[in-house]
Amino acid sequence: MPLDFWQINNDGVAIGTCVSMNIPAHIAFTRAARALQLATILRVQEYYDDLVFEVAELRDLSRELELVMLYMTEHKHHSVVVSLHKLTADCIAKSLRIEVIAD
């Protein structure tokens, strides 16, 4: 049961790409965010909570993801963070929100 990061349009409809994060990847991701004290990312520290990153928050999220990518360079879950960063960049370019859904 992954934690899914979806692109959401203005009508609240999930579109485009989804990045799924399993529990081990989530643990590594949130450990890195805690170590780096990244408040935006730490909003997803509860695996089973849904939330939305509004368009206005995405630049901060992108910057924090860049730090986590550097922190986790050699980690086996690095590719999930890279995919999430790409999703975020695409959402910034298209003015889309990201909804995080715990399935």
pTM here is 0.93
Kindly report the average pLDDT of the chain as a whole number.
Answer: 94
Residue 74 maps to which CATH number?
A: 3.40.1760
Q: Which domain holds residue 94?
A: 3-102
Q: What is the pLDDT of residue 74?
A: 81
At residue 1, does pLDDT exceed 90? no
Structural domain count, the chain:
1
At residue 30, does pLDDT exceed 80? yes
Nearest CA to 68 out of 32, 24, 23, 27 is that of 32
Taking CA atoms, 76 is separated from 3, 69, 70, 99, 103, in Å, by 17, 11, 13, 24, 23
